[in-house]
Each structure stands twice: as C-alpha cells, then as structure tokens.
Chains A and B, each alone.
Chain A
C-alpha cells in the first residue's frame, strides 16, 4: 500500500482530499490528511464579521464533516517534515511515511514582524480582521466606536485576498453612513503599493470608487513601526499617519512548519513550479493554495482552480507521465463595495482584470470591473457554494480552471 499525505485541512487540503479519494486506486493508495484544528472557518466571512453582517455561526463548521470517510483524518500538530526521508514527524513523536506529499498549510498573519504592531494597543485601537479573534474583537469595538481617524492599512505584499482591505474600507464607509456618523469618520487607505491595486485598469476603477466614497489614499507607504503612545504609523521614509482606529493587514507568512523543516523561503512560502505545482526541491512533494510562492493571488478561488490542475498532475506523476496540466494563475474575486453592491474581477498570470461580461460572452449576467447588485448577491451566494460544492470538489458550472478571454474588453 502506498501513502499519500495531505498537510492542512483548510480550503485547499480539503478540496484535494475530496478530489483524490475519487480518483486514486484505493486498493493501492492510502490517503491521510493531517491538521490539528477542529474547526473549518469560511475565511471570506471574516470580512463581514466586524460589521455584524455575518455571525460566527455562519462561518464555522467541523473539519471532519468535509473529509471523506475513507480518508484518514489525523488531528495532531505536525512537528517537522523530513523531506529527504519522506517522513512526517508529529508532535507526539509518531512518524508517518509518505510516497507522495501535498503541502496545503496556508498562510497566516505575523504582526510581530513590525515593531509595535502587536504592542499595547493591539485589539484596543489596533486590529486585524484576518483571524476570527481579530474580526470579532473589531466587531465589538465598532459597535461602540464614536468616530475619528480610521486607517485601513496593508503592511506588505503578498497577502491573502489582496482585495479584502479595499472591501473593508468600502464596507466601513457604508457602515458609518448607515449609522448616521459618516461625517465623524475620516477613512484613509494606506498601502505599500503605488496605487489601490497592482494592475493598471482595476487600479483606475478602484481609485475612482475610493474618491467617490471620500476615502483618501496614501500609497508607497512601507511601514517601519506602530507607535502605540502617539497612535501613529511611521514609514521608513519618515511619513507619519495618525490613527484613532488602525485596521491593519499584518505581514502574511507561510506556516512555521516550513521554517522548521527547511522547506520555505524568507516568508516561509514553499518554492513551487507555478505551472505544475510541484515543489522545486523534491519531486514527490506538491504544493497548493496559500502555502506556495507562485505569483498568483492567495485566494480561495485560486486554490480551487489549482486543485483541478493538481489532481491531474498527481495522476500523471503516479503513472510516471509528464506533468502536463498547467496552472495559468486564474483568480476570480468579488469585491464588496458597500450598499449591497460588488465588483467582480477575473484574471491570471498574464491577463489583468478588465471590464466585460462573465461567464458568458455577450450575456453575462455578471459584469466585470463594474459595481452591481447582482455581483453582491453572487458574493453572498458564494458562502453556500463554498460549503456545499467547492470543498467537496463538485465543479462549479461554467467557471473553469483556465481563464477565458471571451467577453472581455482588453
């Protein structure tokens, strides 16, 4: 019996377990998935928690409910990957041998990377919304906050869901307007990028929306420290921005397991072939989702498209065939803009997000790079799709793993 081990039972790992248990010859292959966590969180829901749009019960389910019964779920902490010996060492000392390994251990925030960020004001006036605890603490703060300078901030790229901080700024604008206190709040969007987003056409559209919503933007800001006494953020060039409430996206890093195992880069991401998703260091290790260093968005949609490609390549690898399935960097993201509207963007390694109709040429019905109510309902419907289709590896109709160019205005 051969052993395929998946590390991480988040979005990417769970999808791989669901794909592979149907595709692998089960007389020949044993599949195991290792994750110490008991709860599976719908991470896009963290955006809505602070504004009381979602409740915790909407976004938390049990990990084991999404793992097929013939896949062994091991709920223990992983101490180390010994890639030279094809072994996983668990924290209790147990050793698991593998023939094939899939790393899907994701990324998490590391506020300790910036001086003062995890300091005395953490979860008092400095918040993140990339963790459940952070989003919940921020919700409690926002319920009673009386206004002032709200600074929405990105520490450094890459981050999970790069559009989330923009969505946060848009939703905050709508939230305070709804509470009849928008005039008491100055919203500033602070980014290390040169503009609202990384690609020119979407940057222009998003900066127009920021202006419309009276949100000011500070670009090229490389944070050096959070000053807890003065309540300011300071950049290496000497720029100082005061805040009453700082909502920051701290540095994102891959799992520390990669550092312990000598498999990560300087941010603990695993160097990965951006097309085949094979590890650059070991042929029998594949990497998926936020854990890779590939130049695609760290987003659930990317993990979803990668899962289809990786499943094909795992099958090729087992049959000793060339890894012919190739990931194109496809990402598909709704961007909430407040007031029950959203934008939709669709892009890949080589094609930036543009306007047009999705998924059908000339029909849509979803509009790309343009605000609409339908996009917003699409985003909300996605939670159902996530729990009921995406995690289980059921294909989403009309949305393929490779990006289509038809219907788009390049």
Chain B
C-alpha cells in the first residue's frame, strides 16, 4: 500500500514498514521516528546507519547482535528506543522487520 510520509509517497506493508529501501531518506526516517515518539539524537543515527549497513550485507539482525555492535549495549538500545527497540529502529531505518527466523 501507499503512504504519504514527509511529503513523499512511498510503498509500505500492512505494518508500516517501507518495502523499498530506495524510497527512504532522512526526512522519512525523522517522520517515522516522530510517529514512534522517538526524538532522534546523533546516537540514534549512528545506530540507524549500522542497521542499514547490516541489512545491505544480508546479515540477520537481532537484539543480541545490536548489543555487540560496538555502537550501543542492549541497555542503551532500550534507552534509545524504549518500546520494542529492534522493530522500531528497523522501521525508522526503512528496512524490513527482522524475521527472528524460526
């Protein structure tokens, strides 16, 4: 489905995740963060960049992995994104929701 975010029409899935990362930009990230009630700081952006790089390298994401990323530990990750941090952070980053594969 289509959604108007930060003045741009983008494709999202039923949960609001962007389906095409090429449509993402910083303004969209900021608008999505506002929706999730997160005020983005430089630390947030550092983590968002890390997440985008990992996804680009097809490396599966998990909370454990973020904790070992060298960007933040798990406690800090929760402080940055208090509710369901991995889901919120990936949505803002414009990448798919982690599958936490079965």
Which residues from chain A contact B62 at a C-beta distance below 8 Å?
156-157
Which residues from chain A contact B77 at a C-beta distance below 8 Å?
236
In the complex, 7 of the A-B residue pairs with CB atoms within 8 angstroms, ordered by the A residue number, are A156-B62, A157-B101, A158-B102, A198-B101, A237-B78, A237-B82, A266-B64
Is A162 in the interface zone, CB < 8 Å from B?
A: yes
Interchain CB contact under 8 A, B101 and A156: no
Map CB proximity to A onto B58-80 as digits: 1 under 8 Å, 0 otherwise.
00101111001000001101100
With A156-B63, A194-B87, A237-B82 known as contacts, the answer to whether A295 contacts B99 (CB < 8 A) is: yes
Is A267 in the interface zone, CB < 8 Å from B?
A: yes
Interchain CB contact under 8 A, B102 and A236: no
Which residues from chain B contact A236 at a C-beta distance below 8 Å?
74-75, 77-78, 85
Residue among B60, B84, B85 making CB contact with A295, cutoff 8 Å: B60
Taken together as a complex, chains A and B put the C-alpha atoms of A162 and B62 apart, in Å, by 16
Which residues from chain B contact A193 at a C-beta distance below 8 Å?
100
Which residues from chain A contact B37 at a C-beta distance below 8 Å?
none
Is A201 in the interface zone, CB < 8 Å from B?
A: no
Is B20 in the interface zone, CB < 8 Å from A?
A: no
Interface size on A, residues (CB 8 A): 23
Is B83 in the interface zone, CB < 8 Å from A?
A: yes
Give me the 3 closest cross-chain CB pairs, A-B, nearest first.
A295-B101, A236-B78, A157-B100
Q: In A164-200, which residues have CB < 8 Å from any B CB? A: 192-194, 197-199
Which residues from chain B contact A4 at a C-beta distance below 8 Å?
none
Binding site for B on A (CB under 8 A): 156-158, 162, 192-194, 197-199, 220, 222, 224, 236-237, 251, 266-267, 293, 295-297, 331
Which residues from chain A contact B68 at a C-beta distance below 8 Å?
266
Taking the closest CB of chain B, its distance from the CB of A270, in whole angstroms, is: 14
Which residues from chain B contact A331 at a C-beta distance below 8 Å?
102
Interchain CB contact under 8 A, A197 and B102: yes
Residue among A158, A251, A293, A297 making CB contact with B100, cutoff 8 Å: A158
Closest partner residue, chain B, to A235 (CB atom): B78
Interchain CB contact under 8 A, A157 and B65: no
Interchain CB contact under 8 A, A266 and B102: no
Which residues from chain A contact B74 at a C-beta distance below 8 Å?
222, 224, 236
Closest partner residue, chain A, to B76 (CB atom): A236
Taking the closest CB of chain A, its distance from the CB of B66, in whole angstroms, is: 11
Which residues from chain B contact A162 at a C-beta distance below 8 Å?
102
Interchain CB contact under 8 A, B100 and A222: no
Which residues from chain A contact B85 at a C-beta distance below 8 Å?
236
Interchain CB contact under 8 A, A198 and B100: yes
With A157-B101, A162-B102 known as contacts, the answer to whether A220 contacts B84 (CB < 8 A) is: yes
Residue among B63, B64, B87, B101 making CB contact with A267, cutoff 8 Å: B64
Taking the closest CB of chain A, its distance from the CB of B79, in whole angstroms, is: 9
Which residues from chain A contact B82 at a C-beta distance below 8 Å?
237
Which residues from chain A contact B83 at a C-beta distance below 8 Å?
237
Taken together as a complex, chains A and B put the C-alpha atoms of A149 and B67 apart, in Å, by 31
Taken together as a complex, chains A and B put the C-alpha atoms of A193 and B99 apart, in Å, by 10
Taken together as a complex, chains A and B put the C-alpha atoms of A272 and B60 apart, in Å, by 13
Interchain CB contact under 8 A, B102 and A297: yes
Taking the closest CB of chain B, its distance from the CB of A384, in whole angstroms, is: 26
Interchain CB contact under 8 A, B84 and A194: yes
Taking the closest CB of chain B, its distance from the CB of A95, in whole angstroms, is: 33
Interchain CB contact under 8 A, A296 and B65: no
Closest partner residue, chain A, to B78 (CB atom): A236
Closest partner residue, chain A, to B97 (CB atom): A194
Which residues from chain A contact B60 at a C-beta distance below 8 Å?
293, 295
Taken together as a complex, chains A and B put the C-alpha atoms of A266 and B70 apart, in Å, by 13
Which residues from chain A contact B100 at a C-beta distance below 8 Å?
157-158, 192-193, 198
Taken together as a complex, chains A and B put the C-alpha atoms of A220 and B78 apart, in Å, by 12
Map CB proximity to A onto B33-54 as digits: 1 under 8 Å, 0 otherwise.
0000000000000000000000
Closest partner residue, chain B, to A295 (CB atom): B101
Residue among A197, A237, A296 making CB contact with B101, cutoff 8 Å: A296
Interchain CB contact under 8 A, A157 and B75: no
